[in-house]
Amino acid sequence: MQDTGIVRRIDDLGRIVIPIELRRTFGLSVKDYLSISVDGDRIILQKHHDSCALCGDTKAAKIDVKDRQVCETCVEEIRGR
């Protein structure tokens, strides 16, 4: 893991600012979603990619099924086609 040397303070509402250099490097734009996960004592932020709730595919087109993203392949499989 590479240390950037950047330190940010958490504000009164629990927010931090991600520096523009890092947003540009990782292709983050205003209103993009970030996925938050934990690995031991680390908090990991990753750009969120919509994926199928059943198979995890991130490339296929998704259909909303009861507020979940499901790919067309899984929908067809469930239908038995």
The mean pLDDT value for 22-27 works out to 92
Start-end of H helices in 18-66: 20-25
Q: What percent of the chain has pLDDT over 90?
A: 40
The total number of residues written for the chain in this structure = 81
The mean pLDDT value for 45-64 works out to 84
The mean pLDDT value for 15-22 works out to 95
Three-state SS for 3? coil
Tokens 């099924």 found at: 65
Task: Say if residue 1's pLDDT is above 80.
Answer: no
Tokens 């990991």 found at: 44
Instruction: Please report the pLDDT score of residue 14 as a whole number.
Output: 97
Tokens of 67: 């507020």
Query: What global pTM score does this model have?
Result: 0.59
State how far the alpha carbon of 21 is from the alpha carbons of 44, 53, 58, in Å: 18, 32, 26
Instruction: Please report the pLDDT score of residue 21 as a whole number.
Output: 93
**How far is it, in rounded angstroms, from Cα 62 to Cα 73?**
9
